Amino acid sequence: MKYGIVAFPSKPIQDEINSYRKRYDSHYALIPPHLTLKEEFEADDKKIDELITELKHIANDTEPITININKVSTFAPVTNTLYLKVEPKQELYDLSDKMHTDKFPGSRTYSFVPHITIAQKLSDDEYSDIYGSISMKDIQLEDTIDRFNLVYQLENGIWTVYETFVFGKEYV
C-alpha cells in the first residue's frame, strides 16, 4: 500500500488555500492542502507498525512549529507546479530529515522544499496565465503546525489519514 507523511494546516488556512486549489490543482479532490514531510512510499502492515512506533517517538520530541506563507513560487522548469512557499525553518527540515533515516522505506526524489501545492500538471499556457495572475496576490498566512499525519492512498486515488501524531504528546 502507498503511504505518505504530511502536516495539514488549520481549517481556516486550508479554506484560504483551497480557494486557489479548487480552480488549479488536479489533486484538489484527492487530499486536503498539506505540507509533505515524506513523499509516498510502499509498506506492508508489519513495516507500518514499526514506523508508527518511530513516528510516535518523533512526535514526542517535536515542539509545535509556527509557519509563515507569504508568496507564490514555482518548480518550473522542472514541472509546471505552483505552490505557496512556506518560509524555511530549521525545525521543518529537521522533522522531514527524521523521516528519511534508514528506519523508513523510500528515499527522497527531490530536496525538501517546505511548500503547499496550489496548481500542478498545467500546460505551458495554463502555467503562464495562472502564475502571472496569482503571483501578484498579497499572501500573508501564519499557522502553527502541532501534528503530522501518516496517510495512505485508497484504490480510487484519494488519500486518507491512517494515524495522527500530536507533537509533545507522551505516547505509550
Global pTM reads: 0.93
Tens of pLDDT, residues 27-46? 999 999 999 999 999 999 99
Which residues lie below 8 Å from residue 84, measured CB to CB, with a gap of 6+? 17, 20, 69, 71, 72, 73, 115, 116, 118, 139, 141
Evaluate whether residue 117 is within a structural domain. Answer: yes
Evaluate whether residue 146 is within a structural domain. Answer: yes
List 27, 57, 100, 115, catalytic entry: 115
Annotation marks residue 34 as catalytic? yes
| Confidence label for 169 from pLDDT (cuts 50, 70 and 90) | confident
Which residues lie below 8 Å from residue 129, measured CB to CB, with a gap of 6+? none
Which residues lie below 8 Å from residue 132, measured CB to CB, with a gap of 6+? none
Annotation marks residue 57 as catalytic? no
- List the CATH number of the domain containing 69: 3.90.1140.10
